[in-house]
Amino acid sequence: MNLMMIIYITIAILFVIMLYKYYKIKYNNSVDDFKKELVDIDMYFYSDLYLKNSKNRKVWVHLPFERNSRKWDSFGSRTTTSLNLAYMTLCIKSIIDWCGQTYDIIIYDDTNIPSLLPDTTVDLLKLSGSLLDKYREYCKLQILNEYGGIMIPPSFFMRQNIKNIDNPDIFYVCETMNDTNVSYSNSIISTQLMGSNQNNQELTKYIEVYAKELKEDFGDSNHFAMNYFKQNGIPYIDGKLIGTKDRYNNKICLEDLMSNKKIILDKNHIGLYIPEQLMKRTKYNWYCKLNEEDVLQCQVFISYYMLSE
């Protein structure tokens, strides 16, 4: 090997080392920026006065557990009495950051249902399992019809303001991916993310049908909802726009999100939906127990995405 070749190789190695250090510093700075940004999440929790003073279109975020008795004074606090769902805190923070200037964000849990829907006769706090899930869904539909707005899951990490895809004059749902039932196709039309104006005719009709089926115990609610939306032509948001499909229309499953593989998302997407199965899969319990800093430093796609620009 001649001298010039050795010099070229040495320069190449030095360049790679410098490039690695540059991106390492950039990554660490991104983590530091997240840690420094405080957000008073507590001020967005539902209260009668907050709702009364709300003037803008609403973004509703339902927590699938009871709110911690301790206040979420800042980004970085615990999120529940039993689980430290730091990744969910990061998602809620992103919703506030991107939508807080355009929408009135209201975070609520099951204990707020009687106040939001005074005519409700079912006590959700006494339910569990699939029955609880179905009645939660029923209440979400009623809230949306009563007050209008958008239901955004607390596990949705936003990259743009949802106003870019929101149509405030119609009832719409979204396209998510099937991770539970092998008898379905990969694509499911669901209400994981949905929007409507107040007293929407299509939504009112769906609520009536849903209530009737609920009394008759209609089994799999995903299957029922998907069939209804397809048969009645309910508009839905393409999965490519919310990170349930990649740029090439391929399904993005939880295993993909929890790997370090590269996922190419559509250039017009507004955020990344993290399936609720993450909380239920024993395999991924470790991720649910991480604090905010550890979530951001984790070597999985979700964490990479949170730090990306």
- What are the boundaries of each domain within the chain? 1-36, 40-307
User: What top-level class would CATH report for the domain 40-307?
Assistant: alpha beta
Over range 232-248, report the average pLDDT: 97
pLDDT of 253-292, one tens digit each?
Answer: 999 999 999 999 999 999 999 999 999 899 999 999 999 9
Q: In whole angstroms, what is the distance from residue 29 CA to residue 40 CA?
A: 22
pLDDT of 198-216, one tens digit each?
Answer: 999 999 999 999 999 888 8
Q: What are phi and psi of 106, to 5 degrees?
A: -125, 115
For residue 91, what are its two tokens? 């998602």
8 A C-beta contact, residue 179 and residue 204: no
pLDDT at 290: 94
Residue 36 scores a pLDDT above 50: no
- The segment with the largest mean pLDDT, out of 78-82, 183-187, 243-247, is 243-247
pLDDT at 133: 92
- The closest alpha carbon to 167, from 215, 213, 236, belongs to 236
pLDDT of 119-129, one tens digit each?
Answer: 998 899 999 99
* Residue 2 banded pLDDT, cuts 50, 70, 90: low
Given phi > 0 = left and psi -120 to 50 = alpha, else beta, which region is 46?
beta
CB atoms under 10 Å from CB of 172, counted, come to: 22
CA 218 to each of CA 134, 170, 210, 224, 284: distance values in angstroms, whole numbers, following the listed order: 10, 26, 9, 7, 30
Q: In whole angstroms, what is the distance from residue 85 CA to residue 155 CA?
A: 10
pLDDT at 14: 72
